[in-house]
Amino acid sequence: MQATGIAKDLGHGVAQIRALKGVDLALRGGELTLLMGPSGSGKTTLLSILGCMLTPTEGTVQVRGESIAGKAAEDLAKLRRENIGFVFQSYHLFPTLTAADNVRLALDVRGENGKAARDKSRAALARVGLTGKTANYPRALSGGEQQRVAIARAVVGDPSVILADEPTAALDSENGKAIMGILADIAKDPGRGVLVVTHDPRLVPFASRIVHIEDGMIVREEAGGAARNS
Amino acid sequence: MPLVFTLAFRNLFHDRLRFIATVIGIVFSIVLVTVQMGLYLGFGQMVTTMIDHASADLWVMQKGTKCFEDPSLLDTRQRSRALSVPGTADAIPVVIGFSDWRTPNGSSTPVFIVGADLRSGGLEPWNVVEGRVEALSTPNAVAIDRTYLDRLGVAGVGGRGEIRQQSVRVAAVTNGIRSFTTTPYVFTDVDRARSYTGTPASKATYLLIRLNSGTNVEQARRELVSSLVDVEVLTPAQFGERSRSFWLFGTGAGAALFAGALLGVIVGTVIVAQTLYSSTKDHLNEFATLRAIGSSRRYIYKVIICQAMLSAVIGFGFAYLIGLAVVHTTASSALPIVITPELSVGLFVLTVAMCVVSAIAAIMKVTRIDPAMVFTR
């Protein structure tokens, strides 16, 4: 995924502000990139644009070489379901579905169903350590387990990019580390890039690269703990 | 089970109170429509009951006759002309009209006289449960329905009363020959019917035409029309349709029934729409998540439509059971509610259509959904 010269205006008239001011960012396979910055720095706006949910005022975003410019909402949805997995701060699991069905949903929206989809969902849950909890509903899972289900849902469709928005913010330190460990493990796949938006410095050891954003601009890039250790 | 169905089912049952309210709304609506349409069908059957039970290939009547109960008279000299038309086997005069029945205790009640030539048997009482039809040929004999025994002040066969100061005697009792006007039918011989209704001997209300077997009915009808003066000649189906049209649409009764049914549909649509809309609003976050993970709008519409269809099927099931109970309860009333297989299918289609239309507001809501909201909630 490649973002070049991204600018984004939010609001209208006198209330209009420029949330992003010419951001360049590339997500590469095999890397876990941390996007860090204070509140209001433009992290979520950039994540929404990279996630093909918002279109930039200026600049271009390319997903696997395909530009999102001028694409209709349905085409952007297709791009998302085929290329991007999402992990949200508050999990956004479906309370009325089991863990396995929550994961299977990501395949169902792609038209994948039946036994193959069920097998894939179970495998994805096994990968995040939830083999024995496939039939549990979210209310019967801890926060860390719910986030694991969300990660399983993000990876089950084998996307080329995973975008995670503050995935550890609602978790205690131990669960946060476990989740980051899973995401770092997922990022080892050379065909997949992972971007984690956070302001938690404890996540630095898991990152290959850290990108700092302030006032809508990338102000610094540095190697993460994982890169320094390798 | 498809995941779309599972999601719709769970969304629906997640808030049980709201689901129960939805089903009650649908049941109320469909029962109302069922009753109105059942009354319409029942009314349609009741107004043609005499036509349906007459033994005739064609009906000859005064021009402009609106329905069976219309007392317009034709000249009986037309009978000999009718008999001269090739293919005509018999032309049976029938006399109808309102009169008063005086009970032994002196009170009186209106009755509707139906008289036919009993030797030819054109329009005889049916479902006779006491006495015999043949007994109607004895002096002063009449047949009445057992529903009206109390009102006419008699206990059954042998009971006596007076019509136009003439003594009458109950010779046969029927079961289920009831008028939607609630005025009791009194069957008798055609000559006595003239006497009871004050109809001149040279007049009759109808001529029931029986044709020789193999005669072309339409050709015979045309020949009768050209041979007779100032009359109309209708097949039983045509006369039945004319009677139904008059009572259902000429009087406004049908319009009232349809208006009631329409009201039921509107109430049901509003209730289901309101419920689906509020359910969608409650699950907006989930629909936004679906959109964020790349689902098409069509997928989300399928979830909502599936919820609507589920509500429809469950609501219709309950409404149908209540409808059957209503049919059973009214079966022996003056105006029974009738549910035919066609009406059942129509009501089911209507319920599904009503619920799907109700989903439009919810669909419009999710159409405007912003998937980026998942980052801010």
For chain B, the structural domain boundaries read 3-46+252-375, 58-234
| pLDDT at residue B377, rounded to an integer | 65
Range of the domain at A142: 30-41+72-229
Minimal CA separation from A224 to chain B, in Å:
25
Number of domains in chain A: 1
Distance separating the N- and C-terminal Cα atoms of chain B: 31
B2/A101 touch (CB, cutoff 8 Å), yes or no: no
Contact at 8 Å (CB) between A99 and A156?
no
Rounded to an integer, the average pLDDT of A36-50 is 92
In a domain, A64, yes or no: no
Q: How many CB atoms lie within 10 A of CB B106?
A: 8
3-state SS, one letter per residue, for chain A: CEEEEEEEEECCHHHCEEEEEEEEEECCCCCEEEEECCCCCCHHHHHHHHCCCCCCCEEEEEECCEECCCCCHHHHHHHHHHHEEEECCCCCCCCCCCHHHHHHHHHHCCCCCCHHHHHHHHHHHHHCCCHHHCCCCHHHCCHHHHHHHHHHHHHCCCCCEEEEECCCCCCCHHHHHHHHHHHHHHCCCCCCEEEEEECCHHHHHHCCEEEEEECCEEEEEEECHHHHHC
Helix (H, G, I), strand (E, B) or coil at B26: helix
Name the residue in chain B with its Cα closest to that of A85: B293
Contact at 8 Å (CB) between B200 and B194?
yes
| pLDDT at residue A202, rounded to an integer | 85
Q: What is d(CA B234, CA B225) in angstroms, rounded to the nearest whole number?
A: 9
In a domain, A93, yes or no: yes
Partner residues linked to B209 by β-bridges: B58, B91
| pLDDT at residue A162, rounded to an integer | 95
In a domain, A3, yes or no: no
Closest Cβ–Cβ partner in A73, A90, A106 for B377 = A90
Rounded to an integer, the average pLDDT of A10-26 is 90
pLDDT above 90: residue A121: yes
Distance separating the N- and C-terminal Cα atoms of chain A: 24
Rounded to an integer, the average pLDDT of B334-340 is 85
Rounded to an integer, the average pLDDT of B334-363 is 88
What separation in angstroms does the CA of B286 have from each of A192, B12, B18? 26, 14, 18
Q: What is d(CA B46, CA B248) in angstroms, rounded to the nearest whole number?
A: 11
Residues in chain B: 377
A96/B372 touch (CB, cutoff 8 Å), yes or no: no
| pLDDT at residue B233, rounded to an integer | 95
Rounded to an integer, the average pLDDT of A29-53 is 92
B293/A153 touch (CB, cutoff 8 Å), yes or no: yes
A94/B292 touch (CB, cutoff 8 Å), yes or no: no
Lowest mean pLDDT among A39-48, A52-61, B123-132, B275-284: B275-284
| pLDDT at residue B274, rounded to an integer | 83
A104/B299 touch (CB, cutoff 8 Å), yes or no: no
Closest Cβ–Cβ partner in A53, A78, A109 for B372 = A53
Q: What token pair was written down for A166?
A: 């503050």
A·B CB contacts under 8 A: 83
Q: How many CB atoms lie within 10 A of CB A20?
A: 28
pLDDT above 70: residue B223: yes
Q: What is d(CA A104, CA B231) in angstroms, rounded to the nearest whole number?
A: 76
A97/B10 touch (CB, cutoff 8 Å), yes or no: yes
Name the residue in chain A with its Cα closest to that of B367: A73
Name the residue in chain A with its Cα closest to that of B2: A113
What separation in angstroms does the CA of A195 have from each of A29, A35, A44, A52? 11, 7, 12, 14
A81/B297 touch (CB, cutoff 8 Å), yes or no: no
Rounded to an integer, the average pLDDT of B261-281 is 83
Computed over its alpha carbons, how large is the radius of gyration of chain B?
29
Q: What token pair was written down for B260?
A: 């009631």
Q: What is d(CA B241, CA B245) in angstroms, rounded to the nearest whole number?
A: 6
A81: chain B residues, CB-CB within 8 Å:
293-295
Percentage above 90 pLDDT, chain B? 50
| pLDDT at residue A8, rounded to an integer | 93
Rounded to an integer, the average pLDDT of A18-24 is 92
Rounded to an integer, the average pLDDT of B12-20 is 86
* Strand ranges for chain B from DSSP E: 58-62, 74-75, 88-102, 108-116, 128-131, 141-145, 160-163, 166-174, 185-189, 203-204, 206-211, 231-234
Minimal CA separation from A107 to chain B, in Å:
10
B289/A79 touch (CB, cutoff 8 Å), yes or no: no
Name the residue in chain B with its Cα closest to that of A104: B3
Q: What token pair was written down for A199?
A: 């302001």
Q: Provide CB contacts within 8 A for A117, sequence distance 6+.
A: A104, A107, A108
Dump pLDDT digits (tens) for A62-95.
998 889 888 999 999 999 999 999 999 889 999 9
Dump pLDDT digits (tens) for A182-222.
999 999 999 899 999 998 888 888 999 999 999 999 999 98
- Axis crossing angle, helix A115-127 with helix A143-155, rounded to the nearest 10: 130
B10/A96 touch (CB, cutoff 8 Å), yes or no: yes
| pLDDT at residue B47, rounded to an integer | 87
| pLDDT at residue A228, rounded to an integer | 62
B296: chain A residues, CB-CB within 8 Å:
74, 77-78, 109
**Residues on chain A bordering chain B, Cβ-to-Cβ distance under 8 angstroms:** 44, 47-48, 51, 53-54, 73-74, 77-82, 84-86, 88-90, 92, 94-97, 101, 104-106, 108-110, 113, 153, 165
B7/A84 touch (CB, cutoff 8 Å), yes or no: no
Contact at 8 Å (CB) between B69 and B180?
no
Minimal CA separation from B328 to chain A, in Å:
41
Query: Per-residue confidence at A157, pLDDT binned at 50, 70, 90?
Result: very high
Between strands A209-214 and A217-223, the pairing is antiparallel
pLDDT above 90: residue B221: yes
B292/A101 touch (CB, cutoff 8 Å), yes or no: no
Closest Cβ–Cβ partner in A78, A94, A97 for B294 = A78
Closest Cβ–Cβ partner in A47, A81, A101 for B293 = A81
B290: chain A residues, CB-CB within 8 Å:
105, 109
Instruction: Report how far Cα B316 is from the mean position of its chain's Cα atoms.
Output: 21
| pLDDT at residue B290, rounded to an integer | 93
Minimal CA separation from B299 to chain A, in Å:
7
Partner residues linked to A211 by β-bridges: A35, A221
Q: What token pair was written down for B50?
A: 């005499």
Query: What DSSP state is assigned to residue B183?
Result: P
**Residues on chain B bordering chain A, Cβ-to-Cβ distance under 8 angstroms:** 2-4, 6-7, 10-11, 14, 285-286, 289-297, 299, 370-372, 374-377
Q: What token pair was written down for A180?
A: 């980051």
| pLDDT at residue A158, rounded to an integer | 92
Rounded to an integer, the average pLDDT of B324-338 is 86
Minimal CA separation from B291 to chain A, in Å:
7
In a domain, A189, yes or no: yes
What average pLDDT is seen over chain B? 89
* String of DSSP letters for B277-320: HHHHHHTHHHHHHHHHTT--HHHHHHHHHHHHHHHHHHHHHHHH
Between strands B141-145 and B166-174, the pairing is parallel
A86/B293 touch (CB, cutoff 8 Å), yes or no: yes
A86: chain B residues, CB-CB within 8 Å:
292-293, 374
| pLDDT at residue B172, rounded to an integer | 95
pLDDT above 80: residue B285: yes
Closest Cβ–Cβ partner in B6, B292, B297 for A74 = B297
Instruction: Report how far Cα A193 is from the mean position of its chain's Cα atoms.
Output: 10
In a domain, A102, yes or no: yes
pLDDT above 80: residue B90: yes
| pLDDT at residue B182, rounded to an integer | 82
Minimal CA separation from A86 to chain B, in Å:
7
| pLDDT at residue A227, rounded to an integer | 64
User: Amino acid identity of A227?
Assistant: A
In a domain, A127, yes or no: yes
Which CATH number covers residue A162?
Answer: 3.40.50.300
Between strands B166-174 and A217-223, the pairing is unpaired
Q: What is d(CA B252, CA B255) in angstroms, rounded to the nearest whole number?
A: 5
Query: What DSSP state is assigned to residue B248?
Result: I
Name the residue in chain A with its Cα closest to that of B371: A53
Q: What is the value of pTM for the model shown?
A: 0.77
Mutate to test the interface with A, among B9, B285, B293 (most CBs of A within 10 A): B293
A81/B292 touch (CB, cutoff 8 Å), yes or no: no
Contact at 8 Å (CB) between A217 and A6?
no
Partner residues linked to B170 by β-bridges: B142
Highest mean pLDDT among A75-89, B110-124, B175-189: A75-89
Lowest mean pLDDT among A22-26, A193-197, B20-24, B329-333: B329-333
What average pLDDT is seen over chain A? 91
Q: What is d(CA B64, CA A199) in angstroms, rounded to the nearest whole number?
A: 91
Helix (H, G, I), strand (E, B) or coil at B223: helix
pLDDT above 80: residue A229: no
pLDDT above 90: residue B204: yes
What separation in angstroms does the CA of B127 have from each of A37, B132, B210? 92, 10, 22
Q: Provide CB contacts within 8 A for A15, sequence distance 6+.
A: none
In a domain, A195, yes or no: yes
| pLDDT at residue B180, rounded to an integer | 79
Nearest to residue B205, comparing CAs of B82, B118, B114? Answer: B114
Contact at 8 Å (CB) between B258 and B36?
yes
| pLDDT at residue B241, rounded to an integer | 93
